[in-house]
Structure 1
Amino acid sequence: MTNAVPLTEIWRGPMAESLHRGHAVICDDTGAIVEAWGDPKATVLPRSSAKMIQALPLVETGAADARGLNSEHLALACASHNGAAIHTDRVRAWLGDLNLQDGDFRCGAHMPKDKAARHALIRADEKPCQVHNNCSGKHAGFLTLTQHMGWGPEYVEPTHPMQRACLEAFEEMTGETSPCFGIDGCSAPNFATSMHGMARAMASFAAAREGRNARETAAVRLWQAMVAHPELVAGEKRACTELMRACKEPVALKTGAEAFFIAIIPGRRLGLAVKIEDGATRAAECTIAALLVRLGVLDADHPATRRFMNAPITNWRGIETGTIKPANGLL
């Protein structure tokens, strides 16, 4: 077994003040490892980086087409959104099309990350609804398939047919039997796999061809929806959104809690998975940006790249005091 390795460094003045270790794997369309850092066999919970896998049953069963879902719906099904109006308005409309209400969600409520939406709730002395949950798009997808199939309402239970369908897709895409699961922040089970398995799954998305079969057609539609609507996948100033816009070719990107990050690069039929051991989001964002630069799909000097890689750290007076940068040899 290989230990985690340094992936991102935090510099202050002339010295490295902090170090973030982790694992990263790049896979090709055969599932083989092209490059790896740390331990490809490390067991991980991919958290929200697995959302496009969880959305596969929605599309491949025909439920998405039966309910008239478009690419915006599919992008939201893969999203960890900011809860801005562009997100919540669309999810509310989707829920209405299903003749369902906010109470039919099982994701729970939290304040939106979007400042305007958060301040509007505070000024109105209102509490957030479940539609503000960053996973509400994923859950709208769960409800769509659940309703289409005539399944029961408790769709986040691990034994529910909805979650069994997600597990089946997850194990087939990763090429591994999941050893366990944890309950995610949105109450749905999040299945574990290895770093290699997750990178393999992303490479399968990258290698998929529309029309070959239902699974591959679904995979193509999902990554294309993410690339077409990066603002729906996360939101303004978020790494997923900004880096997808900045890439020189189509690349689907998705963050996950506790410093997970994936990339799907269809033009090169490559999949990437990154996990930072200490759960630091800043390190996952820096690392994924560095790997995209390494592969030539992102310019190191693009303003969006510089927000996350070789990014300046400033103090309260606006003085630059340090840098977030990739570890030596990552670029």
Structure 2
Amino acid sequence: MDLLPLVEETRAGIVENIHIGMICGVNNRLETQFHLGDDSHYTFFRSASKPIQAIPIFLTNSIDKYNLTKEEAALFTASHRGEAYHIAALESLLKKCPVTEADLYCPASYPLNARPKEEMIRNGLEKRRLYHNCSGKHIGFITACRELGYPVEGYWEVEHPLQQHIMQILSILSEVPVSKITVGLDGCGVPVFAIPLKSMAITYLKLACPELITDPQIKNAVIKMTTIMNASPLMIASERFICSTLLEDQNIVAKGGAQGVYCFGLKEERLGFALKVLNGSEEVWPNIVASILEQIGYCNKETIARLRALKPSVVRNDSGVEVGTINEVFSLFNTYEDSFG
């Protein structure tokens, strides 16, 4: 495994922390163009798989059939943070879709964001499955099962036809044979998939550039899904989180996962990226992605500025005093200087 430093954190001029990892960027010829480290390293998608896992529901007519808003439909791809607008949309989904909260396999939880979690605890509210950050995905799973004629029972098992369907879709998008996909168990209890980092980048290239998808039904479902993600970025995470910040840019399809995994695709540039921070940190995602965009000459400087605002390069202590810095220390290797377009 080829591990290289991505970000250094300093205090009083001394390096206090180093985030190591790997990055891969592929062009529309499905070749590695930008890279740092080992692009063949097998990596679990974690929640970066949610757009892929949501494709079955977008293969159905559920959005029109159940009169779903774009905000509600976006939750099928989301790691929602449990803000009031997330909960309201989730409650509405349960009323519209053929799903009850008891059907959900994800465990009862409090919201990820501190403010709604603290308010619920203060008001004596108990954990609910609906508050779990994967609840929208699970509502989508169950609805897809009922629309596609799959049994709901055991929808979380790897042998279930829904999960097998998702693996087939991932194989088409990533160009990794199903037999080469490694299966693990995710935090919410459903299968999670590992493939080479380069193949993850290819997957997000195709999400951003669906004309590269050979299956016309999957292509149309991806167009529908990514349009909704870009139209409702706050539903995918929440304010001041990288996924929502990137999805504000209509040129970007993006989603992160646990343990330092981040993936995004650029539509006009026809590039897909995947990265893995080996210590599992999500804190430095904005720094890394901003640096990637700067290094490839990305034209939307407002997007880069929004990322920089999420995680400034200055470290301050609890009193707001400047005590250190956060510095990207990597330079992407560009294999093909003329591979755009």
Q: Do the structures match in fold with TM over 0.5?
A: yes
CA distance in 1, matches of 2:152, 2:135: 18
Matched-pair contact (CA < 8 Å) for 1:262–1:288: no
Matched-pair contact (CA < 8 Å) for 1:300–1:306: no
What aligned pairs does 1:257-296 form with structure 2 within 5 A after superposition?
A: 257-295=258-296, 296=298
Query: What is the one-letter code of the residue matched to 1:238?
Result: F
Correspondence for 2:186: 184
Cα deviation, residue 128, structure 1: 1.9
Matched-pair contact (CA < 8 Å) for 2:208–2:266: yes
Cα deviation, residue 92, structure 1: 1.6
Tell me if 1:221 matches 2:220: no
Matched-pair contact (CA < 8 Å) for 2:246–2:303: no
Matched-pair contact (CA < 8 Å) for 2:68–2:96: no
Secondary structure of 1:92 counterpart: helix
Correspondence for 1:208: 210
Matched-pair contact (CA < 8 Å) for 1:26–1:36: yes
Matched-pair contact (CA < 8 Å) for 2:3–2:22: yes
- 1:240 is matched with which residue: 243, 252, 266? 243
Secondary structure of 2:268 counterpart: helix
Matched-pair contact (CA < 8 Å) for 1:9–1:20: yes
Query: Kindly, what percent of the aligned residue pairs are identical?
Result: 27
Cα deviation, residue 286, structure 1: 2.0
Tell me if 1:231 matches 2:230: no
Query: What is the one-letter code of the residue matched to 1:53?
Result: I
- Unaligned residue ranges in structure 2 (runs of 5+): 334-341
Aligned length: 328
Q: 1:267-304: per-residue Cα shift (whole Å, max 9, x none)?
A: 22211111111111123332122212323145389552
CA distance in 2, matches of 1:44, 1:319: 38
Matched-pair contact (CA < 8 Å) for 1:310–1:325: no
Query: What is the one-letter code of the residue matched to 1:203?
Result: L
Cα deviation, residue 47, structure 1: 0.5
Name the CA shift for 1:73/1:264 in 2 (closer, same or farther; >3 Å).
farther
CA distance in 1, matches of 2:223, 2:191: 24
CA distance in 2, matches of 1:165, 1:35: 31
- Unaligned residue ranges in structure 1 (runs of 5+): none
Correspondence for 1:159: 159
Correspondence for 2:170: 170
CA distance in 1, matches of 2:292, 2:153: 41
Matched-pair contact (CA < 8 Å) for 2:246–2:253: no
What aligned pairs does 1:307-318 form with structure 2 within 5 A after superposition?
A: 307-308=309-310, 310-318=312-320
CA distance in 2, matches of 1:283, 1:244: 18
> What RMSD, in angstroms, separates the aligned Cα atoms of the two structures?
2.3
Matched-pair contact (CA < 8 Å) for 2:25–2:35: yes
Name the CA shift for 1:211/1:195 in 2 (closer, same or farther; >3 Å).
closer
Secondary structure of 2:284 counterpart: helix
Deviates more, 1:280-289 or 1:179-188: 280-289
Name the CA shift for 1:303/1:33 in 2 (closer, same or farther; >3 Å).
closer
CA distance in 1, matches of 2:184, 2:156: 12
